[in-house]
Amino acid sequence: MNVKSDIDKILEEASYYESIFDTVNEKKAINRGLLTSIDNYEFYYMYGLMEEVFNCNTAFLCFEHALFLCDNEDDYRIIEQEKNKMEKEPGFCVHGTSIIILSYNNLDIMKENLEAIYRFANIGGSNSEVIVVDNKSTDEVTEFLSVQDDIKFIKNDENMGFSYGCNQGFNIAKKENDILLLNNDAVLMPNSLFFLRMALYESPEIGASGAVSNNALLQIVSEKLQEDLSVRNNPDISMRIKKAIEKSCKINLFIDRALEDRTRLTGFCVLIKRIAADIVSINKKADNSELLDEYFSPAYFEDDDLGIRLAKAGFRLVLCHNAFVYHVGGENDGKSFDNSQKKKDNSVSLIEIGREKFQKKWGFDIWSYISFDENMLEKLSGMYLETDSFTLLEIGCGMGAFLSAVAYRFPNAKVFGVENFALVAGIGKRMGNITSCNIEKGEWDYPENFFDVIFVHDSIQNTENPKAFEEKIKKYLKDGGEIFY
């Protein structure tokens, strides 16, 4: 049986489910079709028809993507009519995308980066553009970029650092466009930008969406995939990218619960909604606004800082689990700026300097709040199925990283947290139901015998009266519930 007949059968199946309004099975059929042929435009068109009822913006993006892939003139006109219809809806607000890449050496990777954009990102649609800022490269990449007709190119006479270079791109980007910050060693995969945009327009509250990857802090798809795509296993960058594309075609699909709330997104690939970018920009000037705070120059922690500003402004940040982007990372870290800079004693890395800067600006060490012990999730997985309902309290929850992970894995769970530090609790307000109060002496507004699980961490060790604090905790625990210290 040939591939075309397989696709035709799946299309017929999806059409049948569409005719009886069975969206659950229609989505399943569409994904089976995309697993067979990820660039078949008809599946995106069908998904767009489902989205029309709920969200004109995501429906528009489906139709636009279908047009990008469509090779049939008659079908093209039909899809275009649906796309144009969405633009007239009262809630329509989709913008184009300005992709900003900071370049520093690495010609081979830069070529792969741009080739993937042209191949997968539909730059010809929605008024999109590519902006490359070169930070005084010392190899042939500058000459290569200077003859590219399809990009806006800025050539710096000195290495200005990551934040400054990205801001240069931001300030020449089309003023209505959303902003994709993309590392020069990050390579878009089929559907990665499409699903980042779908995530961004899922809700007006979402201000930024981030990709999952083989190599990105707290956003790694799996350790196995990281190893499969590592330099150690294959030093040929082209072959690694080819393998990454094969892997991405099984990840970048329409899935339920694709989005997970986060308080920070790694800056290797992050899409920022235009209205959010304009609101949180620093030193707002017509041609010199700072999307990234140049206080963090030359690099590191500018993405953490951006996440804090977006969260404080009321925007959601979401990790998009169906937007996989290949990231070289590792051997390439710091290659968009001069990573040789150190403190005077030449013993402190740029990462440590950035960490100190962040703590001075915000008053806390973000590394204490952005991660959690994965064993905590595994404990819950040993107790509950993903569909189970339960109530959970985390004492000393910080920004709610663990609460958000629980809510993503167990969608029927109700998660709560208490946190001493008001600023940190406020930043994490979207991660769960977080109360800011003195953990030991404050009143908790929960019913007694309410929680199935309580995570205490080391909070009890820092109390004046550990025994009394333990008794306080226990009165909120259901009979048969568990406390993890």
Q: What is the CA radius of gyration of the chain?
A: 24
Q: Is there a contact between 326 and 244 (Cβ–Cβ < 8 Å)?
A: yes
Beta bridge partners of 101: 132, 182
State residue 72 phi and psi, 5-degree precision. -120, 120
User: If you search the block for the tokens 């009519």, which residue do you land on?
Assistant: 81
Say yes or no: 240 and 312 in one domain.
Answer: yes
Say yes or no: 387 and 332 in one domain.
Answer: no
Both structure tokens of 137 = 């490269």
Q: Of the residues 318, 340, 366, which one is the last residue of a structural domain?
A: 366
Say yes or no: 381 and 345 in one domain.
Answer: no
pLDDT for position 436:
92
Cα(479)–Cα(158) distance, integer angstroms: 65
Question: Mean per-residue pLDDT for 120-149?
Answer: 91
Residue 1 above 50 pLDDT? Answer: no
User: Exposed (0-12), middle (13-18) or buried (19+): which is 312, by Cβ within 10 Å?
Assistant: middle
Pairing label, strands 391-395, 433-436: unpaired
What's the number of domains the chain is made of? 3
> pLDDT confidence of 464, banded at 50, 70, 90?
confident
Q: pLDDT by residue (tens digit) across 37-86?
A: 999 999 999 999 999 999 999 999 999 999 999 999 999 999 999 999 99
Structural domain boundaries, residue 292? 97-366
282: Cβ contacts below 8 Å, ≥ 6 apart: 289, 290, 291, 293
**3-state DSSP assignment of residue 477:** strand
Say yes or no: 308 and 168 in one domain.
Answer: yes
Q: Where are the alpha helices (DSSP H) in 254-391?
A: 274-280, 302-312, 350-362, 374-383
Q: What share of the chain is helix, strand, coil (3-state, %, to 5)?
A: 45, 15, 40
Q: Of the residues 87, 122, 155, which one is the last residue of a structural domain?
A: 87
Q: pLDDT by residue (tens digit) across 251-291?
A: 999 999 999 999 999 999 999 999 999 999 998 776 789 99
151: Cβ contacts below 8 Å, ≥ 6 apart: 114, 129, 130, 131, 132, 145
Say yes or no: 258 and 406 in one domain.
Answer: no
Question: Model pTM?
Answer: 0.93
Say yes or no: 332 and 405 in one domain.
Answer: no
pLDDT for position 185:
95
Q: For the domain that residue 157 is a member of, what is the CATH number?
A: 3.90.550.10
Cα(65)–Cα(146) distance, integer angstroms: 29
Q: Is there a contact between 110 and 145 (Cβ–Cβ < 8 Å)?
A: yes
Q: Number of H helices and number of E strands within the chain?
A: 18, 14
Question: Mean per-residue pLDDT for 384-405?
Answer: 95
State residue 249 phi and psi, 5-degree precision. -70, -15
User: Is residue 194 a part of any domain in this protein?
Assistant: yes
pLDDT for position 232:
79
Cα(137)–Cα(119) distance, integer angstroms: 25
- What single-letter amino acid sits at 420? N
- What single-letter amino acid sits at 176? E
Q: Is there a contact between 451 and 474 (Cβ–Cβ < 8 Å)?
A: no
Q: For the domain that residue 410 is a member of, what is the CATH number?
A: 3.40.50.150
**Residue 171, CA distances (Å) to 155, 166, 277, 285, 295 in order:** 15, 9, 11, 9, 17
Cα(433)–Cα(155) distance, integer angstroms: 47
pLDDT for position 325:
97
- What single-letter amino acid sits at 450? F
